[in-house]
Structure formats: structure tokens, C-alpha cells
Amino acid sequence: NAGVTQTPKFQVLKTGQSMTLQCAQDMNHEYMSWYRQDPGMGLRLIHYSVGAGITDQGEVPNGYNVSRSTTEDFPLRLLSAAPSQTSVYFCASSSLRGTAKNIQYFGAGTRLSVL
Amino acid sequence: AQKITQTQPGMFVQEKEAVTLDCTYDTSDPSYGLFWYKQPSSGEMIFLIYQGSYDQQNATEGRYSLNFQKARKSANLVISASQLGDSAMYFCAMREGRPGYALNFGKGTSLLVTP
């Protein structure tokens, strides 16, 4: 059971560089989201998607882009990395069908440092 | 305004004792879900337990139970018979409205279980 897979696990960028954090899930979940976790801040929502072709902004979307061309994949793009984007990034997915629980399952996280 | 409040930054408990981690929430939506996640030092987010706003009984999952007091807007996590492996960060989260809405997380409580 792969669940939610994030790559890479670690990344160091220089200010101004761009990169894409990958997220894939094999549970046929409609809902996918990206969070960032900073010390003492809990997790904050960046972007989310309720299905292929549909994305929306969360609490802290500035500096990030997303797209959802397939059910399985939900990449997060940093257009021009800034030191303020140094964080741990989590991808999560959940089903929108069936029980009302709709538990969100998380990937292992990507630890990003921007120098 | 903070939607999820966890007032205990850190907690200690002795092995085999029970411990309660506090969580209060703020919402005017009659339909919501409350979640607890565990984050060990390895960093992954592990789902522990769920409580729906319309659930009549408190949720239980093995050694975890959720003390749901709707009028007080509290959703405390109770861990019975603590084990050394329970040492971790614990996050309370809320989803307002129907599935497809994002989770709002608290800032977490660090639990240390001592021998």
C-alpha cells in the first residue's frame, strides 16, 4: 500500500530558483491538498483540489502554484523560491465519497530549505 | 481568529498512566468533524481518531478516546495506559461543513512519556 507518496524527501534551493514538489496517491481520492508546517504554527493550507481540473487557494497560497491534471497527481510549484518558504511540506488526500469521516491521509513530507 | 486551540505546549506522563490532551474549537457551522493526528519525531502525520458533530457517542480507537463536549466546544484526546512510543506531537484539527473542506490545525501539544 503506497498511499500518498511525496518526492523529494529533502531539497535545498537557492533564492530565486524554481522547483516542483511531487505528490501522488493511489487510493483514487478526489480531494488532495498541500500544507506547510513551520515551528510552533501547526499545519497551514496552501492549495487544495476536489478533483481533476479543479484547484483552489488555501490560507497561505502566495508564491505557490498547483494544477491537477489527473486524479492521482497534485504537484506543488515554487515559482521563485524565497527563504520564507523554508518549511516542511505535506501533501494529503481523502475520499469525498462514502462515510462522513473523509479522513485525510498524509504523505511523509518534504523538508525544503531555501538559502 | 484561531479556530483550534491547544493550550498545552508540552505534557509529561509516566508510562502506563492515562493522559488528556486538550483541544477547544470555534465554529458556527452545525456540521463539522474533529480529528486528532500524531506526529512522531520521524515526521509523518498519523491519523488517530475522528468525531463528527452529530455523533452521539464519544469516539474510541483502541487506547485513544475523544472526550467530546459539544456545548463547551471541546474535543480532548485521552490516551490510556501510555507507552514510550506515544511520545510525539499531537495535533487537533477541525473540518467545517461537508467533506472537501480543508482541515484547520491547532499548534500541537508535545507529549513525553517517561519510564
Asked if the model's pLDDT at residue A99 lies above 70, the reply is: no
pLDDT band at B59 (very low <50, low <70, confident <90, very high): very high
Asked if the model's pLDDT at residue A100 lies above 80, the reply is: no
Asked if the model's pLDDT at residue A5 lies above 60, the reply is: yes
CA distance A6 to A46: 16
**pLDDT tens by residue, B18-45:** 999 999 999 999 989 999 999 999 999 9
B43, B47, B108 member nearest A105 (Cβ) = B47
Question: What are the chain A neighbours of B51 within 8 Å (beta carbons)?
Answer: none
CA distance B76 to B46: 17
Q: Name the β-bridge partners of B77.
A: B21, B66
Q: Does A94 contact chain B (CB < 8 Å)?
A: yes
Taking CA atoms, B77 is separated from A43, A100, B4, in Å, by 19, 20, 14
Q: Say what the pLDDT of residue B2 is.
A: 74
**pLDDT tens by residue, B74-111:** 999 999 999 999 999 999 999 987 666 788 999 999 99
pLDDT band at B16 (very low <50, low <70, confident <90, very high): very high
CA distance A114 to A84: 8
Q: Say what the pLDDT of residue A42 is.
A: 85
Which cell goes with A61? 497560497
Question: What are the chain B neighbours of A45 within 8 Å (beta carbons)?
Answer: 102-103
Asked if the model's pLDDT at residue A29 lies above 80, the reply is: yes
Assess contact for A111 and A10: CB atoms under 8 A.
yes
Nearest to B34 by CA among B108, B92, B99, B98: B92
More confident residue, A37 or B96: A37
Q: Does A45 contact chain B (CB < 8 Å)?
A: yes
B45, B50, B52 member nearest A106 (Cβ) = B45
CA distance A112 to chain B (A): 13
What percentage of chain A has pLDDT greater than the value 90?
84
